[in-house]
Amino acid sequence: MYLLMAASIAGRAQTPSGAGSQAVANPVAQVRNARSWEFGPFVNWGTGVSSRSDFKFFWAGFQVGKILTPVVHAGIFSGQFEFAGNIMPLWQAYTPPPHEQVFNFTGQPFVAPVGGGTYRGVSITPVIFRWNFLTHSRRIQPWFQAAGGLIYTTHKFPPDILVPHGTPGGTSVFNFSPQGGVGLHYFLRPKRSIDLQVSGVHISSASLGDRNPGVNASIQVQVDYTFWK
């Protein structure tokens, strides 16, 4: 009898330790099974492409997300759905300095002054739909996502023809940022990861201004430090 009681107590004492050892060995499975929350700061650097290749971007903010579903089995697309959002109190775009540019709106070319320089603002991305792929890796969790955000800048962005007061005319201080990208979490230890994300971001005012030159495409690289709970 005493031997059975001792074995039972020893088994109970070992269970938490075993669970802890499993979490240390496989932090990806730990957050997957717990459908964890994630949150943490990030920094982002980007560049425009094509006609906006001389535009550069630097953003920083905070992101939060929650894994909502159990694993959905769908072959190579097996994984879990996560909903997330972020806020960027630091949003900057670096554009060429003010200059003169040739335009051809009416069939006749003319030269007009165009604004430029550094643009500052804030941004919020309230809708991030993320799919976390099922993986056998213990450290790496890949994913892809689609998202939509709103940007406010202290001056109309992107720069356009200057109006008499010297500010860009025809664009807007409000722009939208539909985007999509891929990324991965690399777990340094249980409930802590470094994340790398590469996204394509389109910036457009949706014609809130008289003109909508926008930034048709930009490539953004983001690095996060993430806490899991």
| 7 pLDDT above the threshold of 60 | no
Torsion from C-alpha of 176, 177, 178, 184, nearest 10 degrees? -160
| 196 pLDDT above the threshold of 60 | yes
Return phi, psi of residue 19, to 5°.
Answer: -65, -40
Range of the domain at 116: 2-228
**CATH number of the domain bearing residue 118:** 2.40.160.20
Which is nearest to 116 in space by CA: 47, 46, 56?
A: 56
Over residues 75-127, the pLDDT tens digits come to: 999 999 999 999 999 999 999 999 998 887 777 888 889 899 999 999 999 99
Over residues 123-141, the pLDDT tens digits come to: 999 999 999 999 999 999 9
According to the model, what pLDDT value does residue 168 have? 80
| 16 pLDDT above the threshold of 50 | no
Bridge partners for 152 per DSSP: 122, 174
Name the pLDDT band for 20 (thresholds 50, 70, 90). Answer: low
3-state secondary structure the chain: CHHHHHHHHHHHHHHHHHHHHHHHHCHHHHHHHHCCEEEEEEEEEEEECHHHCCCEEEEEEEEEEEECCCCECECECCEEEEEEEEEEEEEEEECCCCEEEEECCCCCCEEEEECCCEEEEEEEEEEEEEEEECCCCCCEEEEEEEEEEEEEEEEEECCCEECCCCCECCCEEEEECCEEEEEEEEEEECCEEEEEEEEEEEEECCCCCCCCCCEEEEEEEEEEEEEEC
| 159 pLDDT above the threshold of 80 | yes
Rounded average pLDDT over 209-213: 86
Total count of domains within the chain:
1
- At a CB cut-off of 8 Å and minimum separation 6, what does 50 contact? 216, 217
Which is nearest to 158 in space by CA: 16, 51, 81, 22?
A: 51
* Lowest mean per-residue pLDDT among 8-17, 53-62, 143-152: 8-17
Over residues 166-185, the pLDDT tens digits come to: 778 889 999 999 999 999 99
| 22 pLDDT above the threshold of 50 | yes
Amino acid at 11: G
Share of the chain above pLDDT 70, in %: 90
